[in-house]
Amino acid sequence: MAAGLGRAAEACVGQVVLPGDLLLLPAHYDEDGEGERLRLSAGAAPVGRLLCGPGLRRSGAGLLVTKCGLLRHRPAGPGAYWVDSQQKRYVPVKGDHVIGIVTAKAGDVFKLDVGGSEPASLSYLAFEGATKRNRPNVQVGDLIYGQFLVANKDMEPEMVCIDSSGKSSGMGIIGQDGFLFKVSLGLIRKLLAPKCEIIQELSQLYPFELVLGMNGRIWVKAKTVQQTLIIVNILEASEYMTAEQRRQALAKLSGN
């Protein structure tokens, strides 16, 4: 696609972009050969790198839009561009933390349903402290919280339950006595935002445990079944309620 047909990426932030649109980056950004990551050229000040997120693909000196949605930009830290879209099916992305359901055991590998077009694989050695003799007790039907180590269109997704230092960091088998439900991918991104108001307000209502997966799955557990279901209903309805409506609902539940 000719560069003249593209638009400046910075000018499109917050606007609707369509598949096939070409977003041009400032001249001081250059490829580093990895396809999805950009960095500053040697002649520019070393202020970090720019990540290409979901809905975008590298194309010459710019980014090619692959999904319809709103263009978002994070300037701080490793800067990033991505497309905020309301897609229904989750597409695995390397580094995403998700909740998977164990569907089968195949030798030394577990197969997990992660809501994508194909199951993900998880090695029994991808748990903290796991060895050939000390295998994790994983059964079909168990819920696993982990992250994608491999996720691209040409290979089967591969999950792990350890970070780069070999620690679980909260990942692993999720308890069986909670409640698992599914919400839209847009709501998940909202709930995972730093200092999310919805989570902060709910935490003042009841004490509960919460696991959020980027694949739209949420696991929650409160002290009683009734409290668990109340939290589930509020989380599901929060996508369609205004902040004031949500506060009124929480105030009624708390008796204020």
Please compute the mean of the pLDDT values over residues 221-239 and round it to a whole number. Answer: 91
Domains, the chain: 1-27+49-85 (2.40.50.100), 96-173 (2.40.50.140), 179-254 (3.30.1370.10)
Predicted local distance difference test score (pLDDT) of residue 238: 87
The confidence score (pLDDT) of residue 41 equals 34
Which of 219, 189, 217, 215 is CA-nearest to residue 92?
215
**Global pTM?**
0.72
Q: Residue 84 and residue 136: Cα distance in Å, rounded?
A: 37
Instruction: Give the chain's mean pLDDT.
Output: 82
What is the pLDDT averaged over residues 65-72?
Answer: 85
- Cα–Cα distance measured from residue 217 to residue 52, given in angstroms and rounded to the nearest whole number: 24
| CA angle at 161 for the pair 149 and 147, rounded to the nearest 5° | 40
User: Are 173 and 128 within 8 A, CB to CB?
Assistant: no
State the pLDDT confidence band at 161, using cuts at 50, 70 and 90.
very high
State yes or no: pLDDT of 239 exceeds 70: yes
pLDDT beyond 50 at 44 = no
Alpha-carbon distance of 159 to 150, in angstroms, equals 7
Q: What is the pLDDT of residues 96-152, one digit of tens each?
A: 999 999 999 988 899 999 998 889 999 999 999 888 888 888 899 999 999 999 888
pLDDT, position 135: 85
Mean pLDDT across the stretch 199-212? 90
46 vs 174 pLDDT, higher one: 174
Q: Does the pLDDT at position 45 exceed 50? A: no
The confidence score (pLDDT) of residue 2 equals 41
